[in-house]
Amino acid sequence: MSSQIELQVEEAGERLDVYLANELTGLSRSRLQKLITEGQVQRNGTCTSKKAIVQVGDHIQVTIPDAAPLDLQPEEIPLDILYEDDHLLILNKPVGLVVHPAPGHASGTLVNALLAHCRTPDGKSTLSGIGGTQRPGIVHRLDKDTSGAIAIAKTDLAHHHLQQQFQNKTARRDYLAVVYGAPADHGTIDAPIGRHPVDRKKMAIVPETDGGRRAVTHWHVTERLGNYTLITFELETGRTHQIRLHAAHIGHPVVGDPLYSSGRSIGVNLPGQALHAWRLRLHHPISSELIEAIAPLPHTFTTLQDVLRRRHLHQT
């Protein structure tokens, strides 16, 4: 059966497809544009255009049809499972694993692994179809080279409830990162994020009047390591590259970040940025029980910590 998502617009000025892509992070913009074209999106009870500008108070109803047969192949890729039942799956994603297929990554993704893990004996997928054929079960994302806890929906009902939690900020995501320099003990970064005007691989601090989306990141220092600092970040919003960009914005980029740091050598061979989604807290979509999933740090992250601790002790 098809499922429906109800949204009430609180910020005006964006195109409908852009607004929906930011609110419904499990759906790609192209998928949403197709749904709009097919008449599956209504604004205040009427089908509309993807270019329509949303206004405060608008009521948006998105109908998700039954998923089409998947054109992706299941792949037996090992999964580090933190929690699982018939509705919800929480994984510890490793560095280097792409979440869903994209140009240059047609296979070997988390979605391919999920298709192998979440299927009936006759081969049918048991994942939510809300994300479409390329993103079954995907509620939120982690960058390829960011490790840690990620939630997967096994049913459309679970997918809808989890999306609402992320939208309403009742689901909380805490990250650990090693950054350059010595920031203040704690603070909040409130700086809107949008696409970089020149480099399409990057995001940038973009005023909301120019299309940027409000982005808020809280941090507190966990451990000082000389010229480096271990920080806990908590996301209030979930924009693309939010922590990486915000950390660079305040002059303390994440160590190993290929896009937003200077690439200074630290003597440790990191496969990606030193950023790990270590804790995910959410309410079970069916029972409403509070679930807290803790993702153990990857070996490369702990190695970096050990090296920096020894270096700091030697310097002092």
Supply the residues annotated as catalytic. Answer: 143
Euclidean distance between CA atoms 192 and 21, whole angstroms: 16
Which are the contacts of 160, defined by CB distance < 8 A and separation ≥ 6? Answer: 3, 5, 130, 285
**What's the longest Cα–Cα distance across the chain?**
68
> Which tokens is 143 given?
């960058």
State the distance between the two ends of the chain, measured CA to CA, in whole angstroms.
64
How would you label 80-102 residue by residue, b for 16+ Cβ within 10 Å and e otherwise? eebeeeebbbbbbbbbebbbbbe
Euclidean distance between CA atoms 19 and 195, whole angstroms: 14
Beta strand segments in the chain, E: 3-8, 41-43, 46-47, 59-64, 81-84, 88-93, 147-153, 172-180, 186-190, 193-195, 203-205, 216-225, 228-235, 275-283, 290-294
Supply the DSSP string of 161-219, one letter for each residue.
HHHHHHHHT-SEEEEEEEEES---SEEEEE--EEE-SS-TT-EEE--GGGT-B--EEEE
